[in-house]
Amino acid sequence: MSHPIALLLAYADGTPAAAFTPGALDSSDPFGNVRHVAYRGDDGVSAGFVQASVELVFEDYPYTEMLVVHAGKVSLQDEQQTLELSVGDSAVIGRGTALRVQAQAGSLWAFCTLNQGAEHKPGLTQLDARAALNPSQAPDAQILIGPAPQCRSFNAFADSASNLLIGVWDSTPYARRSRPHKVHELMHLIEGSVTLQLADGAELKVNTGDTVFVAQGAPCAWESNVYVRKLYVVK
């Protein structure tokens, strides 16, 4: 079991943020030989990156998985469509998808995977970074430092069996005090930057194009001085 953490997975320039542990999530992991795991929880949530040049075919993809491309090009094909993903593009692979994956040499993508309790929900969902958003709840007033921000969101993918939500969120600048993170969350910054202050006082700066993972229970504070727009996975 991993301890609650917050850490960068991959940078905007296409490089991994650290040398994470290589290896499969479990015996059914299609990317076991090329996956690098930054976090693996007892509840089935994992995050990290895959760096590979591969062509693979799966009859029944075993997880629900969100990926965001940091380098190269990745093609995902199911029975209904083909998604050609370039740097900054993101998609969700539903559990049970009959899938063909082609990744060109030098490809790298960050991932967040649920391998326990996910619905059998075959298919591919491409995430639109510029999707229209609806007003959403701001952080709790008691932890805010300064005025409440204006926040918006759009859930592009939902798994009702596990309460997994994947989509797009934005916010005007704000700051909040440290508190244990309420959910597991992968964030990929489409626009803006944010500083996360961790339990030991260290500051984690997340810039446009970076991907970060914050585990449920990890203490962290938030400070953004500019407009922020991000892709998210929350569980």
pTM of structure = 0.97
Residue carrying the six token digits 């500083």: 195
- The ranges of the chain with pLDDT < 50 are 1
Note the pLDDT tens digit of each residue in 22-50.
Answer: 999 999 999 998 999 999 999 999 999 99
Q: What is the pLDDT of residue 140?
A: 94
Q: What is the pLDDT of residue 1?
A: 46
Note the pLDDT tens digit of each residue in 124-148.
Answer: 999 999 999 999 999 999 999 999 9
Q: What is the pLDDT of residue 86?
A: 98
Task: Return d(Cα 230, Cα 97) in angstroms, integer.
Answer: 26
Task: Return d(Cα 213, Cα 234) in angstroms, integer.
Answer: 10
Q: What is the pLDDT of residue 200?
A: 86
Domains of the chain: 6-127 (2.60.120.10), 134-234 (2.60.120.10)
Q: What is the pLDDT of residue 2?
A: 60
